[in-house]
Structure 1
Amino acid sequence: MDRRSLLRGALAGAVAAPAAGLLTAREASAAPAAFDVLIGDVNSGRIFLFDRNKPFTDHTIKGQLNPAGSGHPMEHRFRATDGDGEILLAVTGTATTGTASIYRRRDKKLLWSVSDVRNYPHSIERARGTGVVVVAGRSHGSGGGAATGGSLHVFRPANSHASSLVRAGSPVPFHQAHGPLWDPRLERLWVSGGKRLTAYRIVTTANSAKLVEDTGRRLDAFTRAHDLQPDFRRPGRLLVTDTYGVYAVDTASMTRSTLHERRYVKSYVRHSSGEQMWTGAVENGNVFGTKYVHFNVSGVARAREGAIIYKARLDTTAYA
């Protein structure tokens, strides 16, 4: 994560107004959508699951986990598998190293972990079908525009279980790698980082797996690309945050449009109901974020007292 100047005061402790044209009258007046939210708390090092329509207190915790490895919880997302059922993908990290891990959701059993991700891991994804897992990490040390380095760490399974994952070759260089996301419609792995959003084919054999860039789906249109999520309201559209805003990318035309001009948003997603959920830092505050998860359509900001929330994810195994 970039240790730079932070968000403008518009984000401080309150819900900023959504960009014009994003909300319809029906969306703005509808009852809040019901869904659960997975958050990572930098202060406690734990991952929590909450009902978005209830206060984020100790009494309302629906699930929690202290993920493997030292450092901050940088990513946490659910996926569905044939061999292990629903799993939780997680990464923790520091400026120089990190740990990627996979847990079985129903009993929190640790199925797989690797602790030698030798850069600053920011996210993890599992490609449906192949079972290949990719961990994205940016460069060592502090961030900022002068930072260099970053890579994608690829792991392939020997069978249908996460416990069989092994490294698949050397890390793939990717400047400031932050957000991997599998696209089942295109059968591509999207990755964001630095100025770039691009897609990879995952090519596998019985004993290998490698990433092959689909250069026709490359978009160099960002400043320091950060989070990457699907738009669950509009298939075929990706949501990307970077230093200066939140953007939508149409995967058919590979064109970018601006959704919000909020700086240093750490995570952003749109639920199928139209609700927009995001987290972000504030000026002169903690570089990872605040205690709030913001919901634009319902106009709510849920606070987890004592927490610093870096990313918030929907409780879903869907990719798009």
Structure 2
Amino acid sequence: MDRRGLLKGVLAGAVAGPAAGLVTAAPASAAPAQFNVLVGDVNSGKIYLFDRNKPFTDANIKWSLNPAGSGHPMEHRFRDTSGDGQILLAATGTPTSGTASIYRRRDKRKLWSANVPNYPHAIERARGTGVVVVAGRSHGSGGGTATGGSLHVFRPTDSHSGSLVRAGSPIPFHQAHGLLWDPQLERMWVTGGKRLTAYRIVTTASSAKLVEDTARRLDEFTRAHDLQPDYRNPGRLLVTDTYGVYAVDTSTMRKSAPLHTRRLVKSYVHHSSGEQMWTGAVEGGNAFGTKWVHFNVSGVARARAGAIIYKARLETPNYR
């Protein structure tokens, strides 16, 4: 079923044409692009790094981590810092509790963690200020039907991640699911429910707060889920919701026609090579996903035996 869904996605992109599709035809003899993939396994609770061109087996694990807190690894991304080198941002949780944490990549030392009073689905760090934002939907089961959600803001008191402290009360945001810092616009993008919007981060020596840029609000989604940059097309965001994958131009705030119409895509990224990588659930299956990570252009799918992979991220710490 998952492979059929992949084929439908490729065909949908091809039929839609250049304005809507991200699929680029690669020469048959071209080698698949080489990059590393960071995946979160809901079953084991662990995060793994693999070469996308090798089987996702224990023998090929390049890096792994069992993050703080019990629960599902909902978000995992590398970021560069001046104080701590490269770090991993992680969000883990269950429908009743959650943890946001930061690890130094080179030695896996936990630098910081905080309990989040809802079900966290994303964590992001704003370059420059070092402010960290965590997005979570409300408590309880129900997936897309659950109500509520919020953004949690943490500010550093020095140049190190371990100095992060809470900055004010949680900000209500219905079904908060996705976060992405935009260094070009200096905005924190947030998505969830029907909404994609951007926030300015206003800081002083003793405070940090999010101020919505209402000119960049778009209420055109159905249970918006994942939010990623388009690494081949700077200035575009890629947003998934229950019914498909879309691009949004950050200058005009125009939403594209569906790039792919596959339902229940949990994560989606467009690599600079043109490759498209995605994970997703199937109707009647596990709500978090399957054991597969799919690559549209090369037509390859990698499985992690015994795993349920929720999100797959590029190893890169770049925001764009």
Alignment TM class, shorter chain as reference: over 0.9
Cα displacement string for residues 112-131 of structure 1 (whole angstroms, at most 9, x for unaligned residues): 0112x011000100000000
Q: Is the 8 A contact 1:104 1:111 kept in 2?
A: yes
Q: CA deviation at 1:25?
A: 3.4
Q: Which residue of 2 aligns with 1:6?
A: none
Cα shift at 1:285:
1.2
Equivalences for residues 16-55 of structure 1 within 5 A: 16-18=8-10, 19-20=13-14, 21=17, 22-26=22-26, 30-55=30-55
Tell me the equivalent position of 2:264.
Answer: 264
Deviation at 1:148, TM superposition (A): 1.2
**What is the 5 A alignment of 1:1-320?**
9=1, 16-18=8-10, 19-20=13-14, 21=17, 22-26=22-26, 30-115=30-115, 117-257=116-256, 258-320=258-320
- Cα distance, 1:31 vs. partner? 1.8
Q: TM-score, normalised by structure 1?
A: 0.94
CA contact (8 A) 2:192 2:223 kept: yes
Partner SS for 1:277: strand
Contact 2:24 2:274 (8 Å CA) reproduced: no
Structure 1 residue 142, shift from structure 2 partner = 1.7
Q: Is the 8 A contact 1:97 1:119 kept in 2?
A: yes
Deviation at 1:23, TM superposition (A): 2.8
Paired amino acid for 1:214: D
For structure 2, the residue ranges without an aligned partner over 5 or more in a row are none
SS in 1 for 2:212: strand
* RMSD of aligned Cα (Å): 1.4
SS at 2:162's partner residue? helix
Structure 1: any 5+ residue segments left out of the alignment? 1-8
What is the CA distance between 1:28 and its match in structure 2?
6.8
- Aligned-pair distance for 1:146? 3.7
On the 8 A contact 1:41/1:73 being kept in 2, the answer is yes
Instruction: For 2:289 and 2:122, locate their aligned partners in 1 and report how far apart those are by CA, in whole Å.
Output: 16
Task: Give, in whole Å, the separation in 1 of the partners of 2:83 and 2:149.
Answer: 31
Residues 10 and 317 of structure 1: is their aligned pair in 2 closer, same or farther, counting only changes over 3 Å? closer
Distance across 2 between alignment mates of 1:204 and 1:177: 22
Q: In 1, Cα distance between the equivalents of 2:127 and 2:227?
A: 17
After superposition, the Cα gap between the structure-2 partners of 1:29 and 1:201, relative to the gap in structure 1 and judged at 3 Å, is farther
Deviation string, structure 1 residues 183-219 (Cα, Å, up to 9, x no partner): 0000000000000000000000000000000000000
Specify which structure has the bigger relative contact order, considering alpha-carbon pairs within 8 angstroms and separated by 6 or more residues: 1
Q: In structure 1, the residue corresponding to 2:130 is in which secondary structure?
A: coil
TM-score (normalizing by structure 2)? 0.94
Using the aligned pairs only, state the percent identity.
Answer: 79
Could you tell me how far apart the structure 2 residues matched to 1:286 and 1:80 are?
34
Give the residue type in structure 2 aligned to 1:243.
T
Q: For the residues of structure 2 that align with 1:193 and 1:185, how far apart are their CA atoms?
A: 22
Q: Give the Å deviation of 1:16.
A: 4.4
Pair 1:212–1:17, CA change in 2 (3 A)? closer
